[in-house]
Structure 1
Amino acid sequence: MRSSPASGPGYNVRAVERAMELLSALAGGDPALGVTELAERLGLHKSTVHRLLVTLEGGGFVEQDQVSGRYRLGLKLFELGAVVGARQELRCEALPYMRDLSAKSGHTVHLVLLSGYDPIYVEKVENPHSVVSYSQIGKKLPLHATAAGKVLLAHLPPADQEEVLRGPLAAYTPNTITDPAVLREHLARIVKQGYALDNEELELGLRCVAAPIRGARGHVVASLSLSGLSATLTPERLPGLTAAARETALAISHRLGYSEALSLLRQG
Protein backbone atom coordinates (compact mmCIF):
# COMPACT_ATOMS: atom_id res chain seq x y z
CA MET A 1 0.00 0.00 0.00
CA ARG A 2 2.87 2.40 0.63
CA SER A 3 2.90 5.20 -1.89
CA SER A 4 6.04 5.90 -3.84
CA PRO A 5 7.76 9.29 -3.87
CA ALA A 6 8.64 8.71 -7.52
CA SER A 7 6.54 10.63 -9.99
CA GLY A 8 6.80 12.55 -13.23
CA PRO A 9 7.54 11.66 -16.85
CA GLY A 10 10.78 9.87 -16.00
CA TYR A 11 8.83 7.23 -14.08
CA ASN A 12 6.03 6.66 -16.60
CA VAL A 13 5.46 3.05 -17.70
CA ARG A 14 4.61 2.96 -21.38
CA ALA A 15 2.45 -0.17 -21.15
CA VAL A 16 0.35 1.47 -18.44
CA GLU A 17 0.01 4.64 -20.52
CA ARG A 18 -1.18 2.55 -23.47
CA ALA A 19 -3.69 0.73 -21.27
CA MET A 20 -5.08 4.05 -20.06
CA GLU A 21 -5.32 5.31 -23.65
CA LEU A 22 -7.16 2.13 -24.61
CA LEU A 23 -9.67 2.52 -21.78
CA SER A 24 -10.22 6.14 -22.77
CA ALA A 25 -10.87 5.05 -26.36
CA LEU A 26 -13.47 2.53 -25.17
CA ALA A 27 -15.13 5.30 -23.16
CA GLY A 28 -15.30 7.57 -26.21
CA GLY A 29 -18.93 6.96 -27.09
CA ASP A 30 -18.98 3.75 -29.14
CA PRO A 31 -20.66 0.90 -27.24
CA ALA A 32 -17.93 -1.54 -28.26
CA LEU A 33 -14.86 -1.62 -30.48
CA GLY A 34 -12.82 -4.33 -32.16
CA VAL A 35 -9.09 -4.88 -32.05
CA THR A 36 -8.55 -3.39 -35.52
CA GLU A 37 -10.55 -0.24 -34.73
CA LEU A 38 -8.71 0.28 -31.47
CA ALA A 39 -5.33 -0.24 -33.12
CA GLU A 40 -6.15 2.39 -35.74
CA ARG A 41 -7.37 4.92 -33.17
CA LEU A 42 -4.36 4.46 -30.92
CA GLY A 43 -1.75 4.08 -33.65
CA LEU A 44 -0.62 0.74 -32.25
CA HIS A 45 0.00 -2.68 -33.75
CA LYS A 46 -2.96 -5.06 -33.46
CA SER A 47 -0.91 -7.59 -31.51
CA THR A 48 -0.06 -4.94 -28.90
CA VAL A 49 -3.72 -3.94 -28.55
CA HIS A 50 -4.76 -7.58 -28.27
CA ARG A 51 -2.26 -8.22 -25.45
CA LEU A 52 -3.49 -5.17 -23.59
CA LEU A 53 -7.11 -6.23 -23.99
CA VAL A 54 -6.45 -9.76 -22.75
CA THR A 55 -4.65 -8.38 -19.69
CA LEU A 56 -7.39 -5.85 -18.93
CA GLU A 57 -10.07 -8.48 -19.47
CA GLY A 58 -8.38 -10.71 -16.90
CA GLY A 59 -8.76 -7.92 -14.33
CA GLY A 60 -12.35 -7.17 -15.25
CA PHE A 61 -11.51 -3.76 -16.73
CA VAL A 62 -12.85 -4.71 -20.17
CA GLU A 63 -15.28 -7.33 -21.42
CA GLN A 64 -15.49 -9.07 -24.78
CA ASP A 65 -18.83 -9.66 -26.47
CA GLN A 66 -18.88 -13.38 -27.24
CA VAL A 67 -20.93 -12.88 -30.42
CA SER A 68 -19.27 -9.87 -32.08
CA GLY A 69 -15.82 -10.24 -30.52
CA ARG A 70 -15.78 -6.52 -29.76
CA TYR A 71 -14.68 -5.06 -26.45
CA ARG A 72 -16.41 -2.72 -23.99
CA LEU A 73 -15.57 -1.33 -20.57
CA GLY A 74 -15.88 -3.84 -17.73
CA LEU A 75 -17.67 -3.78 -14.40
CA LYS A 76 -14.39 -3.39 -12.48
CA LEU A 77 -14.36 0.25 -13.56
CA PHE A 78 -17.89 0.66 -12.21
CA GLU A 79 -16.70 -0.81 -8.91
CA LEU A 80 -13.79 1.63 -8.71
CA GLY A 81 -16.01 4.53 -9.72
CA ALA A 82 -18.39 3.63 -6.91
CA VAL A 83 -15.51 3.99 -4.44
CA VAL A 84 -14.74 7.48 -5.74
CA GLY A 85 -18.43 8.33 -5.59
CA ALA A 86 -18.62 7.12 -2.01
CA ARG A 87 -15.74 9.41 -1.06
CA GLN A 88 -17.50 12.37 -2.64
CA GLU A 89 -20.67 11.40 -0.77
CA LEU A 90 -18.66 11.35 2.47
CA ARG A 91 -17.49 14.93 1.89
CA CYS A 92 -21.03 16.10 1.17
CA GLU A 93 -22.46 14.37 4.24
CA ALA A 94 -19.66 15.56 6.54
CA LEU A 95 -19.48 19.22 5.55
CA PRO A 96 -22.60 20.53 7.40
CA TYR A 97 -21.49 18.79 10.59
CA MET A 98 -17.97 20.13 10.20
CA ARG A 99 -19.29 23.68 9.87
CA ASP A 100 -21.41 23.24 12.98
CA LEU A 101 -18.48 21.85 14.99
CA SER A 102 -16.19 24.67 13.87
CA ALA A 103 -18.76 27.33 14.79
CA LYS A 104 -19.46 25.82 18.22
CA SER A 105 -15.84 25.04 19.13
CA GLY A 106 -14.12 28.07 17.61
CA HIS A 107 -11.53 25.82 15.93
CA THR A 108 -10.61 24.60 12.45
CA VAL A 109 -12.07 21.23 11.43
CA HIS A 110 -10.62 18.77 8.90
CA LEU A 111 -11.82 15.65 7.12
CA VAL A 112 -8.97 13.24 6.35
CA LEU A 113 -8.85 10.11 4.17
CA LEU A 114 -6.10 7.60 3.47
CA SER A 115 -4.44 7.23 0.08
CA GLY A 116 -2.08 4.28 0.47
CA TYR A 117 -0.34 5.15 3.73
CA ASP A 118 -0.74 8.88 3.17
CA PRO A 119 -3.48 10.73 5.08
CA ILE A 120 -4.84 13.54 2.89
CA TYR A 121 -6.97 16.55 3.76
CA VAL A 122 -10.12 16.27 1.61
CA GLU A 123 -12.20 18.94 3.34
CA LYS A 124 -11.51 21.84 5.68
CA VAL A 125 -13.65 24.34 7.56
CA GLU A 126 -11.63 27.26 8.91
CA ASN A 127 -12.69 29.26 11.91
CA PRO A 128 -11.66 32.94 11.79
CA HIS A 129 -10.54 32.71 15.41
CA SER A 130 -8.37 29.64 14.84
CA VAL A 131 -6.85 29.55 11.36
CA VAL A 132 -4.49 26.58 10.89
CA SER A 133 -2.19 27.71 8.10
CA TYR A 134 -0.24 24.49 7.52
CA SER A 135 -3.25 22.53 6.23
CA GLN A 136 -4.87 22.70 2.83
CA ILE A 137 -7.17 20.42 0.87
CA GLY A 138 -5.16 17.83 -1.06
CA LYS A 139 -2.11 18.10 1.18
CA LYS A 140 -0.60 14.96 2.69
CA LEU A 141 0.25 14.74 6.37
CA PRO A 142 2.31 12.32 8.46
CA LEU A 143 0.47 9.19 9.52
CA HIS A 144 2.21 8.89 12.91
CA ALA A 145 2.56 12.55 13.91
CA THR A 146 -1.00 13.90 13.65
CA ALA A 147 -4.21 13.07 15.49
CA ALA A 148 -6.09 12.46 12.23
CA GLY A 149 -3.31 10.24 10.93
CA LYS A 150 -3.00 8.26 14.16
CA VAL A 151 -6.73 7.50 14.15
CA LEU A 152 -6.39 6.00 10.67
CA LEU A 153 -3.15 4.21 11.54
CA ALA A 154 -4.71 2.71 14.70
CA HIS A 155 -7.48 1.11 12.62
CA LEU A 156 -5.33 -0.27 9.80
CA PRO A 157 -5.10 -4.06 9.41
CA PRO A 158 -2.28 -5.41 11.63
CA ALA A 159 0.06 -6.20 8.73
CA ASP A 160 -0.27 -2.70 7.28
CA GLN A 161 0.15 -1.11 10.70
CA GLU A 162 3.34 -3.07 11.30
CA GLU A 163 4.75 -1.99 7.94
CA VAL A 164 4.30 1.64 8.98
CA LEU A 165 5.83 0.98 12.39
CA ARG A 166 8.94 -0.46 10.74
CA GLY A 167 9.61 3.13 9.74
CA PRO A 168 11.26 5.36 9.24
CA LEU A 169 9.22 7.43 11.69
CA ALA A 170 10.35 11.02 11.24
CA ALA A 171 10.58 13.39 14.21
CA TYR A 172 8.89 16.72 13.47
CA THR A 173 9.10 18.08 17.01
CA PRO A 174 10.50 16.77 20.31
CA ASN A 175 6.98 15.43 21.02
CA THR A 176 6.71 13.21 17.93
CA ILE A 177 6.48 9.52 18.84
CA THR A 178 9.22 7.74 16.88
CA ASP A 179 9.73 4.61 19.01
CA PRO A 180 7.72 1.77 17.35
CA ALA A 181 6.98 0.04 20.67
CA VAL A 182 5.72 3.24 22.27
CA LEU A 183 3.67 4.10 19.20
CA ARG A 184 2.16 0.60 19.11
CA GLU A 185 0.89 1.02 22.68
CA HIS A 186 -0.31 4.52 21.88
CA LEU A 187 -2.35 3.22 18.94
CA ALA A 188 -3.96 0.54 21.08
CA ARG A 189 -5.13 3.24 23.50
CA ILE A 190 -6.58 5.23 20.59
CA VAL A 191 -8.71 2.27 19.54
CA LYS A 192 -9.90 1.73 23.11
CA GLN A 193 -10.70 5.36 23.94
CA GLY A 194 -12.14 6.27 20.54
CA TYR A 195 -10.03 9.34 19.77
CA ALA A 196 -6.47 10.57 19.25
CA LEU A 197 -4.56 13.64 20.38
CA ASP A 198 -1.70 15.47 18.71
CA ASN A 199 0.17 17.26 21.46
CA GLU A 200 2.39 19.51 19.31
CA GLU A 201 3.74 16.42 17.54
CA LEU A 202 3.72 17.89 14.03
CA GLU A 203 4.29 21.54 14.80
CA LEU A 204 5.11 23.28 18.07
CA GLY A 205 2.30 25.54 19.18
CA LEU A 206 -0.46 23.46 17.57
CA ARG A 207 -2.71 20.81 19.08
CA CYS A 208 -5.33 18.57 17.54
CA VAL A 209 -7.95 16.02 18.52
CA ALA A 210 -9.42 13.51 16.07
CA ALA A 211 -12.11 10.83 16.04
CA PRO A 212 -12.89 8.01 13.59
CA ILE A 213 -15.71 8.13 11.06
CA ARG A 214 -17.17 4.71 10.28
CA GLY A 215 -19.00 3.43 7.22
CA ALA A 216 -22.10 1.26 7.09
CA ARG A 217 -20.13 -1.91 7.90
CA GLY A 218 -18.47 -0.33 10.92
CA HIS A 219 -14.99 0.01 9.44
CA VAL A 220 -13.14 3.32 9.75
CA VAL A 221 -13.34 5.24 6.48
CA ALA A 222 -11.99 8.64 7.55
CA SER A 223 -11.02 10.76 10.50
CA LEU A 224 -12.44 14.06 11.71
CA SER A 225 -10.03 16.42 13.39
CA LEU A 226 -10.30 19.66 15.31
CA SER A 227 -7.15 21.79 15.32
CA GLY A 228 -5.98 24.98 16.96
CA LEU A 229 -3.24 26.85 18.74
CA SER A 230 -2.03 25.28 21.95
CA ALA A 231 -2.79 28.54 23.73
CA THR A 232 -6.50 28.11 22.98
CA LEU A 233 -6.79 24.33 22.70
CA THR A 234 -5.69 23.97 26.33
CA PRO A 235 -5.66 20.84 28.51
CA GLU A 236 -8.63 22.27 30.42
CA ARG A 237 -10.68 22.54 27.21
CA LEU A 238 -9.58 19.24 25.68
CA PRO A 239 -12.21 16.98 27.34
CA GLY A 240 -15.09 19.09 26.06
CA LEU A 241 -13.58 19.49 22.60
CA THR A 242 -12.81 15.77 22.42
CA ALA A 243 -16.41 14.93 23.28
CA ALA A 244 -17.64 17.36 20.61
CA ALA A 245 -15.35 15.85 17.97
CA ARG A 246 -16.44 12.31 18.84
CA GLU A 247 -20.12 13.23 18.74
CA THR A 248 -19.70 14.91 15.37
CA ALA A 249 -17.83 11.90 13.96
CA LEU A 250 -20.58 9.59 15.21
CA ALA A 251 -23.27 11.81 13.69
CA ILE A 252 -21.51 11.63 10.31
CA SER A 253 -21.09 7.87 10.74
CA HIS A 254 -24.83 7.60 11.33
CA ARG A 255 -25.45 9.46 8.09
CA LEU A 256 -23.21 6.93 6.33
CA GLY A 257 -25.29 4.03 7.65
CA TYR A 258 -23.32 2.98 10.74
CA SER A 259 -26.09 1.34 12.77
CA GLU A 260 -24.44 1.59 16.19
CA ALA A 261 -23.84 5.35 15.99
CA LEU A 262 -27.15 6.35 17.56
CA SER A 263 -26.75 4.11 20.61
CA LEU A 264 -23.20 5.38 21.13
CA LEU A 265 -24.43 8.98 20.88
CA ARG A 266 -27.09 8.31 23.50
CA GLN A 267 -24.47 6.83 25.82
CA GLY A 268 -22.61 10.15 25.61
Structure 2
Amino acid sequence: MSSADPSPGDRGAGTNQSVERAVSVLRSLDSGRAELRVSDVAELTGLGSSTASRLLSTLERLDLVERNPVSNLYRLSLGTLSLATTAVNRHPVHWASRTVLQDLAARTGLGANVAVRRDDVLMFLCNFEGARAPKSYTQAGHTAPLHATGIGKCLLAGLSPEERRKLLGEPLESHTEFTTVSHDLLDEEITTVHRTGYAVEAEERALGRASLAAPVRDASGDIVAAVSLWGPTSVLGGGAGAETRSALTREVIEAADRIGQALGAA
Protein backbone atom coordinates (compact mmCIF):
# COMPACT_ATOMS: atom_id res chain seq x y z
CA MET A 1 0.00 0.00 0.00
CA SER A 2 1.32 3.43 -0.82
CA SER A 3 2.38 5.64 2.07
CA ALA A 4 0.82 8.64 0.37
CA ASP A 5 -2.60 9.84 1.46
CA PRO A 6 -5.41 9.07 -1.00
CA SER A 7 -6.59 11.85 -3.25
CA PRO A 8 -10.01 13.48 -2.60
CA GLY A 9 -11.41 11.46 -5.49
CA ASP A 10 -10.16 8.26 -3.92
CA ARG A 11 -11.77 9.18 -0.59
CA GLY A 12 -15.13 9.68 -2.27
CA ALA A 13 -15.08 6.20 -3.75
CA GLY A 14 -13.54 4.50 -0.72
CA THR A 15 -16.03 4.60 2.14
CA ASN A 16 -15.53 0.89 2.84
CA GLN A 17 -11.79 1.34 2.50
CA SER A 18 -11.95 3.99 5.21
CA VAL A 19 -13.62 1.51 7.56
CA GLU A 20 -11.00 -1.11 6.72
CA ARG A 21 -8.23 1.36 7.48
CA ALA A 22 -9.76 2.31 10.82
CA VAL A 23 -10.04 -1.35 11.78
CA SER A 24 -6.42 -1.94 10.74
CA VAL A 25 -5.39 0.87 13.10
CA LEU A 26 -7.31 -0.73 15.97
CA ARG A 27 -5.72 -4.10 15.25
CA SER A 28 -2.26 -2.58 15.16
CA LEU A 29 -2.81 -1.51 18.77
CA ASP A 30 -3.40 -5.18 19.61
CA SER A 31 -0.04 -6.21 18.14
CA GLY A 32 1.59 -7.11 21.45
CA ARG A 33 3.17 -3.77 22.29
CA ALA A 34 1.56 -1.80 25.11
CA GLU A 35 1.62 1.57 23.35
CA LEU A 36 2.49 2.84 19.89
CA ARG A 37 3.64 6.03 18.22
CA VAL A 38 1.88 7.31 15.11
CA SER A 39 4.88 6.13 13.08
CA ASP A 40 4.55 2.64 14.59
CA VAL A 41 0.88 2.48 13.58
CA ALA A 42 1.74 3.70 10.10
CA GLU A 43 4.42 1.03 9.73
CA LEU A 44 2.19 -1.80 11.00
CA THR A 45 -0.78 -0.82 8.82
CA GLY A 46 1.03 0.37 5.69
CA LEU A 47 -0.76 3.70 5.92
CA GLY A 48 0.80 7.11 5.46
CA SER A 49 1.69 8.92 8.68
CA SER A 50 -0.88 11.67 8.11
CA THR A 51 -3.62 9.10 7.43
CA ALA A 52 -2.67 7.12 10.54
CA SER A 53 -2.63 10.29 12.63
CA ARG A 54 -6.04 11.38 11.33
CA LEU A 55 -7.58 7.97 12.00
CA LEU A 56 -6.09 7.82 15.51
CA SER A 57 -7.55 11.25 16.29
CA THR A 58 -10.99 10.15 15.07
CA LEU A 59 -10.86 6.91 17.04
CA GLU A 60 -9.74 8.87 20.10
CA ARG A 61 -12.81 11.11 19.84
CA LEU A 62 -14.95 7.95 19.62
CA ASP A 63 -13.32 6.59 22.81
CA LEU A 64 -11.87 3.55 21.05
CA VAL A 65 -8.28 4.80 21.33
CA GLU A 66 -6.58 6.90 23.98
CA ARG A 67 -3.23 8.57 24.55
CA ASN A 68 -1.13 7.93 27.63
CA PRO A 69 -0.97 11.36 29.33
CA VAL A 70 2.66 10.72 30.33
CA SER A 71 4.19 9.14 27.22
CA ASN A 72 1.68 10.62 24.73
CA LEU A 73 1.65 7.24 22.97
CA TYR A 74 -1.50 5.53 21.74
CA ARG A 75 -3.25 2.47 23.16
CA LEU A 76 -6.69 0.91 22.97
CA SER A 77 -9.25 2.67 25.14
CA LEU A 78 -11.50 1.03 27.70
CA GLY A 79 -14.25 2.15 25.34
CA THR A 80 -13.52 -1.04 23.38
CA LEU A 81 -14.13 -3.18 26.45
CA SER A 82 -17.92 -3.03 26.40
CA LEU A 83 -17.95 -4.08 22.74
CA ALA A 84 -15.59 -6.99 23.34
CA THR A 85 -17.38 -8.10 26.49
CA THR A 86 -20.74 -8.06 24.76
CA ALA A 87 -19.38 -10.10 21.84
CA VAL A 88 -17.94 -12.75 24.17
CA ASN A 89 -20.86 -12.94 26.59
CA ARG A 90 -23.40 -13.29 23.80
CA HIS A 91 -21.49 -16.06 22.03
CA PRO A 92 -23.44 -19.31 22.55
CA VAL A 93 -20.33 -21.39 23.26
CA HIS A 94 -19.16 -18.98 25.96
CA TRP A 95 -22.62 -18.94 27.50
CA ALA A 96 -22.82 -22.75 27.51
CA SER A 97 -19.31 -23.39 28.79
CA ARG A 98 -18.50 -20.80 31.45
CA THR A 99 -19.96 -22.59 34.48
CA VAL A 100 -18.84 -26.01 33.23
CA LEU A 101 -15.23 -24.86 32.88
CA GLN A 102 -15.19 -22.98 36.17
CA ASP A 103 -16.29 -26.15 37.96
CA LEU A 104 -13.81 -28.26 35.99
CA ALA A 105 -10.86 -26.05 36.94
CA ALA A 106 -11.88 -26.00 40.61
CA ARG A 107 -12.42 -29.78 40.72
CA THR A 108 -9.16 -30.77 38.99
CA GLY A 109 -6.94 -27.91 40.06
CA LEU A 110 -5.83 -27.49 36.44
CA GLY A 111 -6.47 -24.89 33.76
CA ALA A 112 -9.68 -25.26 31.76
CA ASN A 113 -10.56 -23.38 28.62
CA VAL A 114 -12.76 -23.41 25.55
CA ALA A 115 -11.93 -22.23 22.04
CA VAL A 116 -13.46 -21.95 18.59
CA ARG A 117 -11.76 -21.96 15.21
CA ARG A 118 -11.30 -18.63 13.47
CA ASP A 119 -9.97 -19.44 10.02
CA ASP A 120 -6.44 -20.85 10.50
CA VAL A 121 -6.09 -20.18 14.26
CA LEU A 122 -8.07 -20.98 17.37
CA MET A 123 -9.53 -18.26 19.60
CA PHE A 124 -10.07 -18.72 23.31
CA LEU A 125 -13.44 -17.63 24.67
CA CYS A 126 -12.71 -18.16 28.35
CA ASN A 127 -10.06 -19.63 30.62
CA PHE A 128 -10.07 -20.64 34.28
CA GLU A 129 -7.03 -21.61 36.37
CA GLY A 130 -7.05 -24.17 39.16
CA ALA A 131 -4.55 -24.27 42.01
CA ARG A 132 -2.15 -26.60 40.14
CA ALA A 133 -2.20 -24.69 36.85
CA PRO A 134 0.94 -22.72 35.90
CA LYS A 135 0.47 -18.99 35.57
CA SER A 136 -1.20 -18.31 32.24
CA TYR A 137 -1.65 -15.14 30.23
CA THR A 138 -4.41 -16.67 28.11
CA GLN A 139 -7.41 -14.38 27.87
CA ALA A 140 -10.63 -14.31 25.92
CA GLY A 141 -9.73 -13.26 22.40
CA HIS A 142 -6.21 -14.64 22.43
CA THR A 143 -5.32 -16.88 19.51
CA ALA A 144 -3.08 -19.95 19.18
CA PRO A 145 -1.98 -22.33 16.42
CA LEU A 146 -4.31 -25.20 15.61
CA HIS A 147 -1.72 -27.87 14.85
CA ALA A 148 0.39 -27.35 18.00
CA THR A 149 -2.35 -27.64 20.63
CA GLY A 150 -4.67 -30.41 21.76
CA ILE A 151 -7.66 -28.09 21.61
CA GLY A 152 -6.67 -27.05 18.08
CA LYS A 153 -6.39 -30.65 16.90
CA CYS A 154 -9.94 -31.26 18.13
CA LEU A 155 -11.11 -28.27 16.10
CA LEU A 156 -9.24 -29.55 13.04
CA ALA A 157 -11.04 -32.89 13.41
CA GLY A 158 -14.05 -31.24 11.79
CA LEU A 159 -12.12 -30.83 8.52
CA SER A 160 -10.93 -33.33 5.92
CA PRO A 161 -7.17 -33.90 5.40
CA GLU A 162 -7.39 -31.92 2.17
CA GLU A 163 -9.13 -29.04 3.90
CA ARG A 164 -6.53 -29.05 6.66
CA ARG A 165 -3.65 -28.86 4.20
CA LYS A 166 -5.28 -26.00 2.33
CA LEU A 167 -6.05 -24.15 5.56
CA LEU A 168 -2.68 -24.53 7.29
CA GLY A 169 -0.32 -24.67 4.33
CA GLU A 170 3.19 -26.05 4.54
CA PRO A 171 5.46 -26.28 6.36
CA LEU A 172 3.69 -26.36 9.72
CA GLU A 173 5.37 -23.96 12.13
CA SER A 174 7.53 -25.46 14.88
CA HIS A 175 7.12 -23.95 18.36
CA THR A 176 9.23 -26.48 20.28
CA GLU A 177 11.16 -29.60 19.36
CA PHE A 178 7.99 -31.59 20.11
CA THR A 179 5.63 -29.74 17.76
CA THR A 180 3.86 -31.78 15.11
CA VAL A 181 5.17 -30.33 11.84
CA SER A 182 4.15 -33.10 9.42
CA HIS A 183 0.68 -33.15 7.87
CA ASP A 184 0.84 -36.95 7.68
CA LEU A 185 1.51 -37.17 11.42
CA LEU A 186 -1.19 -34.59 12.09
CA ASP A 187 -3.62 -36.74 10.09
CA GLU A 188 -2.77 -39.72 12.31
CA GLU A 189 -3.31 -37.71 15.48
CA ILE A 190 -6.68 -36.44 14.27
CA THR A 191 -7.71 -39.97 13.31
CA THR A 192 -7.02 -40.84 16.95
CA VAL A 193 -9.25 -37.95 18.04
CA HIS A 194 -12.10 -39.43 15.98
CA ARG A 195 -11.49 -42.89 17.45
CA THR A 196 -11.02 -41.98 21.12
CA GLY A 197 -12.96 -38.72 21.43
CA TYR A 198 -10.03 -36.71 22.78
CA ALA A 199 -6.59 -35.29 21.91
CA VAL A 200 -3.32 -35.31 23.83
CA GLU A 201 -0.64 -32.63 23.52
CA ALA A 202 2.67 -32.54 25.40
CA GLU A 203 5.02 -29.56 25.17
CA GLU A 204 4.18 -28.82 21.53
CA ARG A 205 3.36 -25.17 22.18
CA ALA A 206 5.33 -24.52 25.38
CA LEU A 207 7.87 -26.59 27.26
CA GLY A 208 6.70 -27.95 30.59
CA ARG A 209 3.02 -27.85 29.66
CA ALA A 210 0.62 -30.48 28.39
CA SER A 211 -3.10 -30.74 27.72
CA LEU A 212 -6.02 -33.07 27.19
CA ALA A 213 -8.79 -31.82 24.92
CA ALA A 214 -12.16 -32.92 23.55
CA PRO A 215 -14.35 -31.58 20.75
CA VAL A 216 -17.73 -29.96 21.38
CA ARG A 217 -20.48 -30.86 18.91
CA ASP A 218 -23.72 -28.98 18.28
CA ALA A 219 -27.17 -30.41 17.58
CA SER A 220 -26.19 -31.30 14.01
CA GLY A 221 -23.09 -33.19 15.16
CA ASP A 222 -20.67 -30.59 13.80
CA ILE A 223 -17.58 -29.67 15.83
CA VAL A 224 -18.17 -26.06 16.84
CA ALA A 225 -15.70 -25.72 19.72
CA ALA A 226 -13.27 -27.67 21.87
CA VAL A 227 -12.44 -27.87 25.57
CA SER A 228 -9.07 -28.53 27.16
CA LEU A 229 -7.51 -29.21 30.53
CA TRP A 230 -3.94 -27.94 30.66
CA GLY A 231 -1.21 -27.98 33.25
CA PRO A 232 2.28 -29.31 34.04
CA THR A 233 3.57 -32.28 32.06
CA SER A 234 4.06 -34.08 35.37
CA VAL A 235 0.27 -34.16 35.73
CA LEU A 236 -0.93 -34.39 32.12
CA GLY A 237 2.08 -35.66 30.18
CA GLY A 238 3.24 -39.17 29.43
CA GLY A 239 4.79 -39.51 32.87
CA ALA A 240 1.45 -39.09 34.65
CA GLY A 241 -0.08 -42.18 36.24
CA ALA A 242 -2.48 -44.14 34.04
CA GLU A 243 -5.29 -43.87 36.57
CA THR A 244 -4.86 -40.11 36.92
CA ARG A 245 -4.65 -39.63 33.16
CA SER A 246 -7.77 -41.76 32.61
CA ALA A 247 -9.75 -39.84 35.21
CA LEU A 248 -8.78 -36.46 33.73
CA THR A 249 -9.60 -37.68 30.23
CA ARG A 250 -13.11 -38.60 31.40
CA GLU A 251 -13.44 -35.17 32.99
CA VAL A 252 -12.63 -33.28 29.80
CA ILE A 253 -14.83 -35.48 27.59
CA GLU A 254 -17.76 -35.13 29.98
CA ALA A 255 -17.27 -31.36 30.11
CA ALA A 256 -17.35 -31.20 26.30
CA ASP A 257 -20.50 -33.33 26.27
CA ARG A 258 -22.23 -31.06 28.80
CA ILE A 259 -21.43 -28.00 26.73
CA GLY A 260 -22.69 -29.75 23.61
CA GLN A 261 -25.95 -30.62 25.39
CA ALA A 262 -26.38 -26.98 26.38
CA LEU A 263 -25.94 -26.09 22.71
CA GLY A 264 -28.73 -28.49 21.79
CA ALA A 265 -26.80 -31.66 20.99
CA ALA A 266 -28.64 -34.91 21.61
| TM-score, scaled to structure 2 | 0.64
Gaps of 5+ in 1: 1-5, 21-83, 260-268
- Distance, in Å, in 2 between the alignment partners of 1:126 and 1:189 is 27
Distance 1:207 1:217, change over 3 A: same
SS of the residue 2:91 aligns to: helix
% same residue: 30
Determine the structure 1 residue equivalent to 2:17.
17
- Distance, in Å, in 2 between the alignment partners of 1:178 and 1:85 is 32
1:129 CA drift (Å): 2.8
User: Residue 119 of structure 2 contacts residue 167 of structure 2 at CA under 8 Å; is this kept in 1?
Assistant: no
CA-to-partner distance for each residue in 1:59-83, whole Å, 9 max, x for gaps? xxxxxxxxxxxxxxxxxxxxxxxxx
Determine the structure 2 residue equivalent to 1:114.
117
Determine the structure 2 residue equivalent to 1:183.
186
Aligned match for 2:258, one of 239, 244, 251: 251
1:18 CA drift (Å): 6.0
Tell me whether 1:241 sits opposite 2:241 in the alignment: no
Determine the structure 1 residue equivalent to 2:215.
212
SS of the residue 2:173 aligns to: coil
Structure 1 residue identity aligned to 2:234: A
SS of the residue 2:17 aligns to: helix
Q: Which one has a bigger Cα radius of gyration?
A: 1
Number of equivalent positions: 188
- Distance, in Å, in 2 between the alignment partners of 1:175 and 1:203 is 9
Determine the structure 2 residue equivalent to 1:163.
166
1:202 CA drift (Å): 0.7
Determine the structure 1 residue equivalent to 2:145.
142
Aligned match for 2:195, one of 192, 197, 208: 192
- Distance, in Å, in 1 between the alignment partners of 2:109 and 2:190 is 28
- Distance, in Å, in 2 between the alignment partners of 1:163 and 1:150 is 15
Structure 1 residue identity aligned to 2:16: V
- Distance, in Å, in 2 between the alignment partners of 1:147 and 1:93 is 21
- Distance, in Å, in 2 between the alignment partners of 1:109 and 1:233 is 13
1:162 CA drift (Å): 2.2
RMSD over aligned CA atoms reads: 2.8
Structure 2 residue identity aligned to 1:212: P
1:179 CA drift (Å): 1.5
1:246 CA drift (Å): 0.1
CA-to-partner distance for each residue in 1:63-116, whole Å, 9 max, x for gaps? xxxxxxxxxxxxxxxxxxxxx799612211111111111111110101101111
Distance 1:86 1:104, change over 3 A: closer
SS of the residue 1:172 aligns to: coil
Aligned match for 1:201, one of 180, 201, 204: 204
